[in-house]
Amino acid sequence: MSVIHQSLSTSISSSSSTFLGHNNLKSIKSSNVSIPGRINVVIECVATPSAEITAYKTKVSRNENMGKLQAGYLFPEIARRRTAHMLKYPDAQVISLGIGDTTEPIPEVITSSMAKRSYALSTVEGYSGYGAEQGEKQLRASIAKTYYENLGIEEDDVFVSDGAKSDISRLQVLFGSKVTMAVQDPSYPAYVDSSVILGQTGQFQKDVEKYGNIEYMKCTPENGFFPDLSATRRTDIIFFCSPNNPTGYAASREQLTRLVEFAKENGSIIVYDSAYAMYVSDDSPRSIFEIPGAKEVSMEVSSFSKYAGFTGVRLGWTAIPKELLYSDGFPVAKDFNRIVCTCFNGASNIAQAGGLACVSPEGIKAMHEVVGFYKENTDIIVEAFNSLGFKVYGGKNAPYVWIYFPGQSSWDVFSEILEKTHVVTTPGGGFGPGGEGFIRVSAFGHRENILEACRRFKQLYK
């Protein structure tokens, strides 16, 4: 059989570890789960913590910002529901097109470099311990050359990291609790959640499904998935992801030029997330630094996760130009350097060896093949939903397809698809109120699973 048949134990231990310790799995229970802004949904709850609740309490008060967060982080919540579904249907062949994790093997040109570095660590000559917090010089230089040649980004502007998500949180630590921030709505949840944790926001407002003090820049088919900047309040920080997760839309050069002008007029800093830049297949910019003047108002976070299958290896980077200054003229990069030295001890040396192989000519070719494979998957998914008469967005410049279900709750659609096809998707509402009525289908999957999922979608919606 060509479809995935994951064993339950694998699925529990690999994807739900934040929630399910091995000893914690007690019983299957039915419980009422409240999704922000949605009616309560009854789901099969998979576990309850096994530790007996003790009467003893410390004298430490809970960080009140943690209390503001709504439910769990989106993707562990999806994983929990998948696990619950697998417990309910132990024989089902569940296909996960939900959390956007890569599935294809890492090209050997890359793993062989990591293996070599790994073995060298067992030798006196090859051993190395802590490296530079900012990353290895050669890797920083190669990233600058590969992704920013002729854009004025140099080796020492690049900070190598253990992935874009960690850098997003480190950047929030850099900015502190007093800044205001804007996000695309819908957007990758880490921007909003890390902002809440840092204390930049007010409480969650249930009526509008938004946190106070965050500017939600609505991105819908009506505005071509680019925010109406004339109606956007000034904020200190603007998180902007292109190609966008979840809508799959890549902003054009003209739109990004307007964004940079907007930031300049307002004295704002754009944090540009280019984690999917290699998926761009038209002439949309791959980097914000392609836009004239962007270096004075922008920084860029990026990652090897979706290019080389490094979601488990963990390697990314943040590029901060020397031209980016605070209001007092102090360089932002200098402060970020301080944060990196305090909060981070550098990316794994084995991962960095892999990163160097990624940006070698053979590695770049291999990454394009991986990206090309997922792009073919995307075409298959787009074709399936188009043939069913849905309004389908994204897909062209990103491994995500954004499908419109007018008038329906995205969590209801998610549940119906899971229940009737055993395919895990992601409800658009999980990415912000602007995602309501949409479902995100990820193109990360083995080809036979993508084909099988599409066959099931066609069966469900024919």
- Buried b / exposed e along 180-219 (16+ C-beta atoms within 10 A): bbbbbbbbbbbbbbbbbbbebbeebeeeebbbeebbbbbb
Nearer to ligand PLP among residue 79 and residue 275 (C-beta): 275
Nearer to ligand PLP among residue 93 and residue 311 (C-beta): 311
- The amino acid at residue 416 is E
Pick the piece of the chain touching ligand PLP (CB under 6 A) from 160-168, 197-205, 351-359, 369-377: 160-168
316 binding ligand PLP? (CB under 6 A):
yes
Q: Are 109 and 360 in contact (CB under 8 A)?
A: yes
Least gap, CB of 389 to ligand PLP (angstroms): 28
Nearer to ligand PLP among residue 168 and residue 214 (C-beta): 168
| Count of residues making up the chain | 462
Nearer to ligand PLP among residue 45 and residue 355 (C-beta): 355
Nearer to ligand PLP among residue 275 and residue 370 (C-beta): 275
Nearer to ligand PLP among residue 111 and residue 311 (C-beta): 311
- The amino acid at residue 417 is I
- Mark residues 326-365: x for contact with ligand PLP by CB under 6 A, - for none: ----------------------------------------
243 binding ligand PLP? (CB under 6 A):
no
Least gap, CB of 321 to ligand PLP (angstroms): 20
- Longest Cα separation, the chain: 65
Q: Are strands 237-241 and 181-185 parallel, antiparallel or unpaired?
A: parallel
Least gap, CB of 24 to ligand PLP (angstroms): 26
DSSP annotation string for 407-438: TS-HHHHHHHHHHHH-EE-EEGGGG-GGGTTE
Rounded Cα–Cα distance for residues 48 and 130 (Å)? 40
200 binding ligand PLP? (CB under 6 A):
no
Least gap, CB of 15 to ligand PLP (angstroms): 14
217 binding ligand PLP? (CB under 6 A):
no
- The amino acid at residue 337 is N
* Packing angle of the helix pair 137-148, 349-358 (nearest 10 deg): 30
194 binding ligand PLP? (CB under 6 A):
no
Phi-psi region of 93 (alpha: psi -120 to 50; beta: other; left: phi over 0): beta
Q: How far is CA 99 from CA 245, 264, 445, in A?
A: 11, 35, 11
313 binding ligand PLP? (CB under 6 A):
no
Select from 43, 102, 104, 101 the least CA-distant residue to 71: 43
Nearer to ligand PLP among residue 204 and residue 431 (C-beta): 431
377 binding ligand PLP? (CB under 6 A):
no
| Beta-bridge partner residues of 82 | none
- Answer for which of 81, 82, 165, 440 binds ligand PLP (CB under 6 A) is 165
CB-facing half-sphere around the CA of 450: CA atoms within 13 A: 26
Strands (E), 69-180: 95-96, 158-161
Least gap, CB of 243 to ligand PLP (angstroms): 9
Q: Is the dihedral of CA 154, 155, 157, 162 positive or negative?
A: positive
Q: Are 320 and 339 in contact (CB under 8 A)?
A: no
245 binding ligand PLP? (CB under 6 A):
yes
CB-facing half-sphere around the CA of 62: CA atoms within 13 A: 8
Least gap, CB of 327 to ligand PLP (angstroms): 27
End-to-end CA distance of the chain: give it in Å, rounded. 24
- Answer for which of 37, 107, 135, 163 binds ligand PLP (CB under 6 A) is 163
Least gap, CB of 401 to ligand PLP (angstroms): 14
Rounded Cα–Cα distance for residues 351 and 115 (Å)? 10
The encoded tokens of residue 138 equal 């050669």
Looking only at residues 250 through 289 of this chain, which bind ligand PLP when binding is defined by CB under 6 A?
273, 275
Nearer to ligand PLP among residue 83 and residue 305 (C-beta): 305
Nearer to ligand PLP among residue 24 and residue 111 (C-beta): 111
Nearer to ligand PLP among residue 316 and residue 434 (C-beta): 316
Rounded Cα–Cα distance for residues 132 and 117 (Å)? 16
381 binding ligand PLP? (CB under 6 A):
no
- Answer for which of 37, 98, 100, 107 binds ligand PLP (CB under 6 A) is 100
Nearer to ligand PLP among residue 87 and residue 424 (C-beta): 424
77 binding ligand PLP? (CB under 6 A):
no
Phi/psi at 238 (nearest 5 deg)? -125, 110
Pick the piece of the chain touching ligand PLP (CB under 6 A) from 115-123, 158-166, 194-202, 439-447: 158-166
Contact residues: ligand PLP, CB under 6 A:
100, 163-165, 188, 241, 245, 273, 275, 303, 305, 311, 316
